[in-house]
Amino acid sequence: MDILSQDIMYLSGVGPHKKDTLVGQLGIKTWGDLLEYYPYKYVDRSKVYRISDLTGDMPFVQIKGKILSYEVFASDRRHKRTVAHFTDGHGVADLVWFKGGQYAMKTYKVGEEYVVFGKPTTYQGRYQFAHPEMERAADLCLNDMGMQPYYITTEKMKNAGMTSHAVGKLTKTLVGKIPAGALQETLLPSQISRLHLISRDDALRKIHYPKSLDDVQRAQVRLKFEELFYVQLNIVRYMAEHRKKYQGYVFGKVGEHFNRFYQENLAFELTGAQKRVMHEIRDDLRSGRQMNRLLQGDVGSGKTLVALMVMLLALDNGFQACMMAPTEILAEQHLATLQAFLKGMDIRVELLTGIVKGKRRKEVLEGLADGSVDILVGTHAIIEDNVQFRRLGMAVVDEQHRFGVAQRAKLWAKSEKPPHILVMTATPIPRTLAMTIYGDLDVSVIDELPPGRKPIVTLHKYNNQTTSLYNGIRQQINEGRQVYIVFPLIEESAKLDLQNLEEGYASLREIFPEFKLSKVHGRMKAAEKEAEMQKFVSGETQILVSTTVIEVGVNVPNASVMVIVEAQRFGLSQLHQLRGRVGRGAKQSFCILVTGYELSQETRKRIDIMCETNDGFRIAEADLKLRGPGDLEGTQQSGIAFDLKIADIARDGQLVQMARDEAQRIIDNDPDCNKPENALLWDRLKELRKTNINWSAIS
């Protein structure tokens, strides 16, 4: 039996109680699981500081010396403080216990030499260590201690005595139990030498029990690379297999539809970025390969127009096209946009969403099947099995977030060959992140806004600064503009949030008796929502009070003010998306972030970044730093990356690139994935696919 599949119970130091904690809290069942429970930080314990060299901003440090005397301070029985005056010959520091002082006095003897480990703080002009870790110097060999690993532990674990220190003892025991060289290599010898990596056996030991910072770094690089490499190998292999399996339709022609639109209907010049992206897409469409392309562009950069032109190319080549949006409102808005663009042209555009029912639905479905519907706009309803196209050649998907590999696969099934796919997203994603999350897509970027747009001015206002806020709104509306006022709504506090929205709406009606208001939230019936929305779109109402249902896609160029109430409750990318609803016309637009006075540091950072920049890429990067990639919506749903235990795609960008290059090299040399010298890699990949739930659902 593989030594790593041994039950964690059979590790000395793990009894039934600890086993329950490890399994219950961390899912650690076997030796192998524990071995892959990596520390998140290290503290150098080979170094001993002099008390006279301490500074206030030091992290955990070690000092070595003797207790001179104990002193007990007690203002009353419940507030007792035991202090040991401690010296190393260079200075005096205090060791302090607020509880357990009795135990300390019994255990740590005056005059004996100890190594004390803790975080120094200053108190009344002296350094003190509260509840330090202490060990007899005679019991320690400091040179041997190296770096002390720190493991993430839960509250329940700590209560059960499983501190980071305790976990460290277990991993140390474990590493000692595994015979040298017993940990299987997962990379090729040639890779290890070419990329200057250490072996897996070495890395797994050093990651838990490093002697130096250098050990830590080499172990981390090796293990991170390995993780990222297999993610990239999976992606690159998947793309290669896909290309082999599916040929794409060739759209060789630029015909009547495209030309007529471009020459007669299009009222403005394309931006340079739109033109470049059109070229990239046309190259794909002529190549004979099926296109899977991600079109990134900030809100308002003109992606929808690009999508429309691409769909017209499909029609020119005798195919149908469809466009999918994440919500009904957005689908309806897209429909309206397309119809306006296509005015006077003989193109049948239809809508298919959950609310298209009965006779209407039947007509649409029939039109799709007999080919008389040219373009279908809709929600996920489009990928349902009963929706059959006569000849679907092009599918546009708006907002990648909610549309992963599995959904795309459903689209391929709708046609003889898989249709070309263009995924549009307004969430700018740093390159190395895109490489992992949407790794199987080629990327085009619209990095230029249509001319004449004025940068949106973003301001932060506190709750009580409403007078200037209301005056600003009034002024803008009197100048003919419209205003969004957005309230947060999250599932966990939906009832309260809705109440806030209702109250906000009622008071806004009193504040602005001269204006008309619309109100929209996710709990309303679709038709009702649509009607309210429509009033705002048509300009009948001047203020739209809503929850985030307008977050993506709504296009009202006349709207110039976006007020976000309780802005602290929104994430950065959400704030940016919301802000993108304004600034679409030629007039100066404003985004007002309203919060209370008490803000966490992180919230302040978010607000500051919003006020500072309109650049979606900068915001996405800041967001990634603040939240980490784990929170990024879509990481799970894209379904193509394996779980990462140690690598961090936000921070390890260079390693991501290195892993991608290496994966590509392997596939290029072994396109059929069957060369014996690579067997190790293909076996390992198979194993990983098996244990990855997302992945196995797709392939």
Residues engaged in binding Mg ion (CB under 5 A): 304, 553
DSSP 37: -
Q: Which does 301 bind (CB under 5 to 8 A by kind): ligand ADP, Mg ion, none?
A: ligand ADP
Q: Which does 271 bind (CB under 5 to 8 A by kind): ligand ADP, Mg ion, none?
A: ligand ADP
Q: Which does 48 bind (CB under 5 to 8 A by kind): Mg ion, ligand ADP, none?
A: none
Interface segment toward ligand ADP; rule CB under 6 A; list 146-154, 267-275, 377-385, 633-641: 267-275
Residue 278: CB partners within 8 Å, gap ≥ 6? 270, 306, 309, 310
Query: Both tokens of residue 692?
Result: 């990855």
Q: Which is closer to ligand ADP, CB of 336 or CB of 698?
A: 336
Least distance CB 304 / Mg ion (angstroms): 5
Least distance CB 581 / ligand ADP (angstroms): 10
Q: Which is closer to ligand ADP, CB of 302 or CB of 488?
A: 302
Q: Which is closer to Mg ion, CB of 234 or CB of 304?
A: 304
Q: Which does 418 bind (CB under 5 to 8 A by kind): ligand ADP, Mg ion, none?
A: none
Q: Where are the beta strands (DSSP E) in 276-415?
A: 292-297, 320-324, 349-352, 375-378, 392-398
Q: How many residues belong to the site for ligand ADP (CB under 6 A)?
A: 17
Run of H or E including 474: helix 466-478
447 with 485: CB under 8 angstroms? no
Instruction: Report the alpha-carbon distance of residue 609 to residue 458 in Å, rounded.
Output: 10
Q: Which does 584 bind (CB under 5 to 8 A by kind): ligand ADP, Mg ion, none?
A: ligand ADP
Least distance CB 555 / Mg ion (angstroms): 7
Interface segment toward ligand ADP; rule CB under 6 A; list 138-146, 303-311, 374-382, 476-484: 303-311
Q: Does 303 bind ligand ADP (CB under 6 A)?
A: yes
Residue sitting closest to ligand ADP (CB): 302
Ramachandran class of 5: left when φ > 0, alpha when ψ lies in -120 to 50, beta otherwise: alpha
Q: Which is closer to ligand ADP, CB of 304 or CB of 320?
A: 304
Least distance CB 343 / ligand ADP (angstroms): 13
416 with 265: CB under 8 angstroms? no
Interface segment toward ligand ADP; rule CB under 6 A; list 159-167, 264-272, 404-412, 615-623: 264-272
Residues from 304 through 333 that contact ligand ADP (CB under 6 A): 304-305
Residue 630: strand, helix, or coil: helix
Q: Does 664 bind ligand ADP (CB under 6 A)?
A: no
The three state secondary structure string of 535-565 is HHHCCCCCEEEECHHHCCCCCCCCEEEEEEC
From the list 557, 571, 653, 671, which residue makes contact with ligand ADP (rule: CB under 6 A)? 557
Q: Where are the beta strands (DSSP E) in 428-481?
A: 442-446, 457-462
- Say if strands 92-97 and 41-44 run parallel, antiparallel, or are unpaired: unpaired
Q: Which is closer to ligand ADP, CB of 160 or CB of 446?
A: 446
**DSSP code per residue over 502-521:** HHHHHHHHHH-TTS-EEEE-
Q: Which does 439 bind (CB under 5 to 8 A by kind): ligand ADP, Mg ion, none?
A: none
Q: Which does 200 bind (CB under 5 to 8 A by kind): Mg ion, ligand ADP, none?
A: none
Residue type present at position 629: P
- Residue 61 pairs in a beta bridge with 118
From the list 255, 371, 450, 522, which residue makes contact with ligand ADP (rule: CB under 6 A)? 450
**DSSP code per residue over 88-149:** -SS-EEEEEESS-HHHHHHHS-TTSEEEEEE-EEEETTEEEEES-EEEEGGG--HHHH-EEE
- Say if strands 457-462 and 590-595 run parallel, antiparallel, or are unpaired: parallel
Least distance CB 261 / ligand ADP (angstroms): 13
Nearest to 381 by CA among 338, 348, 414, 359: 414
Q: Which is closer to Mg ion, CB of 118 or CB of 553?
A: 553
577 with 549: CB under 8 angstroms? no
Residue 573: CB partners within 8 Å, gap ≥ 6? 427, 619, 620, 623
Q: Which is closer to ligand ADP, CB of 300 or CB of 629?
A: 300
Least distance CB 585 / Mg ion (angstroms): 15
Residue type present at position 242: H
- Residue 292 pairs in a beta bridge with 421
Least distance CB 303 / Mg ion (angstroms): 6
Instruction: Report the alpha-carbon distance of residue 551 to residue 576 in Å, rounded.
Output: 9
Interface segment toward ligand ADP; rule CB under 6 A; list 263-271, 319-327, 559-567, 594-602: 263-271
Q: Which does 581 bind (CB under 5 to 8 A by kind): ligand ADP, Mg ion, none?
A: none
Least distance CB 338 / ligand ADP (angstroms): 11
Q: Which does 222 bind (CB under 5 to 8 A by kind): ligand ADP, Mg ion, none?
A: none
Q: Does 555 bind ligand ADP (CB under 6 A)?
A: yes
From the list 220, 274, 317, 432, which residue makes contact with ligand ADP (rule: CB under 6 A)? 274
From the list 299, 329, 377, 646, which residue makes contact with ligand ADP (rule: CB under 6 A)? 299
313 with 251: CB under 8 angstroms? yes
Interface segment toward ligand ADP; rule CB under 6 A; list 121-129, 301-309, 501-509, 593-601: 301-309
Q: Which is closer to ligand ADP, CB of 183 or CB of 321?
A: 321
Run of H or E including 81: strand 80-87
| Contact characters 363-402, ligand ADP, x per CB under 6 A | ----------------------------------------
What strands lie across the sheet with 120-123, from one edge to the other? 120-123, 126-130, 92-97, 80-87, 61-74, 113-118, 133-136
Residue 36: CB partners within 8 Å, gap ≥ 6? 645
Least distance CB 437 / Mg ion (angstroms): 20
From the list 40, 246, 262, 268, which residue makes contact with ligand ADP (rule: CB under 6 A)? 268
Q: Does 585 bind ligand ADP (CB under 6 A)?
A: no
Instruction: Report the alpha-carbon distance of residue 618 to residue 637 in Å, rounded.
Output: 24
Interface segment toward ligand ADP; rule CB under 6 A; list 234-242, 300-308, 378-386, 524-532: 300-308
Least distance CB 295 / ligand ADP (angstroms): 9
Q: Which is closer to Mg ion, CB of 472 or CB of 585?
A: 585
From the list 300, 393, 404, 583, which residue makes contact with ligand ADP (rule: CB under 6 A)? 300
Q: Which does 248 bind (CB under 5 to 8 A by kind): ligand ADP, Mg ion, none?
A: none
Q: Which does 639 bind (CB under 5 to 8 A by kind): Mg ion, ligand ADP, none?
A: none
Ramachandran class of 641: left when φ > 0, alpha when ψ lies in -120 to 50, beta otherwise: beta
**Residue 230: CB atoms within 10 Å:** 23
80 with 73: CB under 8 angstroms? yes
Q: Which is closer to ligand ADP, CB of 305 or CB of 351?
A: 305
Instruction: Report the alpha-carbon distance of residue 608 to residue 460 in Å, rounded.
Output: 8
* CA dist list (Å): 457 to 448, 551, 562, 606, 657: 18, 19, 10, 16, 36
| Contact characters 398-437, ligand ADP, x per CB under 6 A | ----------------------------x-----------
Q: Which does 371 bind (CB under 5 to 8 A by kind): Mg ion, ligand ADP, none?
A: none
| Contact residues: ligand ADP, CB under 6 A | 268, 270-271, 274, 297, 299-305, 426, 450, 555, 557, 584
